[in-house]
Amino acid sequence: MRKLYMRVKKLIMLMVLPQLLTLLGCKPKTMYGNNPEAGRYYQINGIKMYVEEYGSGKPLLMIHGNGGDMSAFAENVPYFAKKYRVILADSRAQGKTVDASDSLSFEQMADDFAVLLDTLKVPKAYVIGWSDGGINALLMAMRHPDKVIKLASTGANIWPDSTALDPQGWKQSEKYYNQNKNRAWKTPKAKNDWKIFMLDWTQPNIKLSQLQQIKCPALIIAGDHDVIVDKHTRLIQSNIPGSQLWIVHNSGHGTLIEHARKFNKKVDEFFEK
């Protein structure tokens, strides 16, 4: 199952992240997601959510992508922690945050992050979201507008089909779904992996009219050869009032890793403006 699951393009970057960082010569000294000095669990909407915090100052929530964990931000945390209170969280059913339920939704996760901020006594925060985390950032701005100061969303889509995602990758996902839709998963890990796969197969389902309700400043980002179709990224940005668009040249889905230095500076300038 894992081998087929890994073939879905949107997930590859997240699964090979540690190896990629090593190849780029930027393996982090701090093992984000496995730092007992910084990590804590919080009771959030019926689950134990794993959270690590770094730095001090204005609160900044970072939300990772599908099947990943907070280590996705290894090249971003050191920069932002110099002047922000960086809040890293493993999303529901991912990383160290276990969720035994049989279903999952982006709306549910966005609500989790809002409750997390309340639990941490953070009235509102800046938000950076990558991939599925970018979707969560958008949904937080829609469902909990009082919680988001500004957001930067990179590699997000608002519906699940070949007009939003790379058509070839979508066909691979379709093949995997058809091969396994009637399969009875036996282990907790296999059941959870299927649940995570189904999240991106059936969701999100965000209407353009919902995007138009976002009031906070938003920076919409994608690579120029992202797994998110360029036209779809531009559609998202054009429907968020007053938002900005940044298409990162010579970048795939992992804008925040492939061009970390430029990404950090650009997003920071957007937050400070």
| Calpha distance 187→185 (Å, rounded) | 6
Pairing verdict, β 58-63 and 218-223 = unpaired
| Calpha distance 252→256 (Å, rounded) | 10
| CB-CB contact of 257 with 13 (8 Å) | yes
Closest CA to 153 of 204, 187, 96: 204
The stretches in the chain having pLDDT less than 50 are: 1-9, 11-28
User: What pLDDT sits at residue 30?
Assistant: 72
Q: Which residue's entry shows tokens 């998963």? A: 185
Q: Retrieve residue 265's tokens.
A: 């500076």
Torsions phi, psi for 123 (to 5 deg): -60, -45
Closest CA to 226 of 200, 202, 258, 193: 258
| CB-CB contact of 238 with 208 (8 Å) | no
User: What pLDDT sits at residue 16?
Assistant: 43
Neighbours of 187 (CB within 10 A): 9
Task: Starting at the earlier edge strand, list the strands of the sheet with 84-89.
Answer: 39-44, 47-54, 84-89, 58-63, 125-130, 148-154, 218-223, 244-248
| CB-CB contact of 136 with 123 (8 Å) | no
User: What pLDDT sits at residue 8?
Assistant: 45
User: What pLDDT sits at residue 29?
Assistant: 59
Neighbours of 138 (CB within 10 A): 29
